[in-house]
Amino acid sequence: PDQAADFVRRTDCDALAIAIGTSHGAYKFTRKPTGDILAIERVKAIHERLPNTHLVMHGSSSVPQELLEIIRQFGGDMKETYGVPVEEIQTAIKFGVRKINIDTDIRLAMTGAVRKFLFENPSKFDPREYNKPARAAAKAVCVARYEAFGCAGQASRIKAVSLEFMAARYRSGELAQTVR
């Protein structure tokens, strides 16, 4: 928390990626998560010091077992692996996490859909055909995460503003970070 506060004080950044036990890629953890994956107390402590800094969780895919199974079922060789439990991410959101990177889950969904399509349609080779189920699988993961993270249906709340307007807000100090 002290390092995070010092960094934000010196840089006045808008968002800060924090080290709380996540890692990039599909091969995150070798055992099934039991509620102790994320350093939630660290998230709470950082948020206490930086109440209006958006915290970022890199490498936070949940690596759904059902997606791994689809890949394996259709010829993929995915080793046993586990991701960050959605429930732990939901807890972190309560303490200032505002950006969660879930690219691996999206790639797993797309890979499974492509493998399944090509297995079921061995004479097909056109990416325009197998990308349709891949996009649908990616969308399903995104919708599920939007709902789980409490941000589904909120796009209309975001209003477009000009670069000049935002620059003026920064110059005025209105968007300055609070460091305790």
Q: Tell me the three state secondary structure of residue 98.
A: strand
Alpha-carbon dihedral 149, 146, 78, 19, rounded to 10 degrees:
-40
DSSP structure class, residue 78: P
Kindly report, residue by residue over 105-115, the tens digit of the pLDDT.
999 999 999 99
81-113 CB burial, b ≥16 within 10 A, e <16: bbbbbbebbebbbebbbeebebebbbbbbbbbb
At residue 35, the pLDDT reads 77
The CATH number of 2-172 is 3.20.20.70
At residue 133, the pLDDT reads 99
Dmax over CA atoms of the chain, in Å, equals 62
At residue 38, the pLDDT reads 84
Average pLDDT of the chain is: 95
At residue 33, the pLDDT reads 81
Q: Where are the beta strands (DSSP E) in the chain?
A: 15-17, 54-57, 97-100
Per residue of the chain (180 residues), give pLDDT as tens.
999 999 999 999 999 999 998 989 998 888 888 877 789 999 999 999 999 999 999 999 999 999 999 999 999 999 999 999 999 999 999 999 999 999 999 999 999 999 999 999 999 999 999 999 999 999 999 999 999 999 999 999 999 999 999 999 999 999 999 999
Nearest to 49 by CA among 11, 7, 93, 99: 7
| CA–CA separation, 5 and 179 (whole Å) | 6
135 to each of 128, 147, 162, how far by Cα in Å? 10, 18, 32
Distance from chain centroid for Cα 174: 28
- Delimit the domains of the chain by residue range: 2-172
At residue 82, the pLDDT reads 95
